[in-house]
Amino acid sequence: MQMPGHIDPVPVPRAAVPRADGRLDLVGLSRPQIREALLAAGLDERQAKLRAKQLWHWIYNRGVTDFALMTDIAKAQQPWLAERFVIGRPEVVEAQVSTDGTRKWLLRSDDGQDYEMVFIPDADRGTLCVSSQVGCTLNCRFCHTGTMRLVRNLTAGEIVGQVMLARDGLGEWPSQPEGRLLTNIVMMGMGEPLYNFDNVRDALKIVMDGDGLALSKRRITLSTSGVVPKMAQAGEEIGVNLAVSLHAVTKDVRDEIVPLNRKYGIEELLQACADYPGANNARRITFEYVMLKGKNDSDDDARELVRLIRKYKLPAKVNLIPFNPWPGAPYECSDPERIRSFSNIIFEAGISAPVRTPRGRDIDAACGQLKTAAEKKSRAELDRQAEEKLAALG
């Protein structure tokens, strides 16, 4: 397991694995990239420009995956496109629906890597939690994904593909700003988004494009554990809401549960929050704070959190998250009374501190749990098959 240290633990980006059939997946490509792909395939400049505009609309606005359904493209050219390109979706390995309406998908890439996404419906919104990496390089001790080794970054297409797959499942094509169930996106799934900056940026630009998936940047939140050098760049080049996985207010505790703190400490992180472009009272920074029994949940911790927010004059709110246990977790969830006391101290200081309602616990909704459960089932299935073969051999 990589540890934050002298060198940023950023993986060398792996090149996209070519499809076995040689076709290029258009999902995740911008308009100029689609045009370049068409030029490389043999279309002239005028045709490539026109077809790129049409393909963009059909892919990102209408959600179409079959060239034969693109009615404004000549029928003679539809097979030509299908021979060279594909409009893909992640493979769904497993899909679960909780009793509270939460949906979770275990997805698989073309090169056989598994990752997850979760849809959380509420009365006034529907939030899709999107992954940015397969595994994670930051071994935060309370996070189940932190127990997994980092395999690789997800491509822009794999990130956008999660949103498109959710739209498929919810029947929300064509894109429209009103009346849809999927209203918000949070980059809070597997991985650290700012260690996959370029792909996350490119994917979110497609998601925010008014002629494409058309989600406002005000309805998108990017969560980071505190990759300080990339935070200002994220504000300038992406411009979405910022959430910070804080989880502790003292060096010793945060060093333990969020090891990245050993590289970028609390004071440096909070200064980066104060400098984040666009942060104001209408677009507050969210501090995520998981409640761990006897570790970070005292009244003194709450008062120190208030002091730090005031010191840096941060337009902030605090999301208090009851810890969602997973097998082998080294922590327990704080008692409800302790969480209420912690929340009240912050509220009395004039800072919003709602307690997040646990969702989807009956479907392994803690990030990374479904992937681990599927791997265990796979190993069990392999063991069963091996036993059957041995039995057959006598």
pLDDT of residue 5 exceeding 50, the answer is no
Q: How confident is residue 368, by pLDDT bands cut at 50, 70 and 90?
A: very low
Place of tokens 């979760």: 118
Higher-confidence position of 316 and 149: 316
pLDDT at 1: 36
Mean pLDDT, residues 148-156 taken together: 88
Our CA dihedral for 26, 30, 33, 35, rounded to 10 degrees, sits at 90
Per annotation, catalytic residue among 91, 94, 116, 140: 116
- Could you give the CA distance from residue 294 to residue 296 in angstroms, rounded to a whole number? 6
Which two three-digit tokens encode residue 260? 């990245």
pLDDT at 383: 52
- Could you give the CA distance from residue 293 to residue 295 in angstroms, rounded to a whole number? 5
- Could you give the CA distance from residue 281 to residue 317 in angstroms, rounded to a whole number? 10
pLDDT of residue 265 exceeding 50, the answer is yes
Averaging pLDDT over each range in 113-127, 144-158, 192-206, 371-385, which range is the top one?
192-206
CB neighbour class for 224 (10 Å; exposed up to 12, middle 13-18, buried from 19): buried
Reply yes or no on whether 367 is catalytic.
Answer: yes
Average pLDDT, the chain: 88
Mean pLDDT, residues 280-308 taken together: 95
Q: How confident is residue 4, by pLDDT bands cut at 50, 70 and 90?
A: very low
pLDDT at 390: 52
Question: pLDDT tens digit string along 51-100?
Answer: 999 999 999 999 999 999 999 999 999 999 999 999 999 999 999 998 88
pLDDT at 178: 74
pLDDT at 80: 97
Q: How confident is residue 394, by pLDDT bands cut at 50, 70 and 90?
A: very low
Averaging pLDDT over each range in 96-110, 293-307, 375-389, which range is the top one?
293-307
Q: How confident is residue 2, by pLDDT bands cut at 50, 70 and 90?
A: very low
CA distances, 323 to each of 244, 336, 365, 366 (Å)? 17, 11, 12, 9
Per annotation, catalytic residue among 136, 273, 333, 367: 367
Mean pLDDT, residues 169-189 taken together: 88
Instruction: Look at the pTM and tell me if it is higher than 0.95.
Output: no
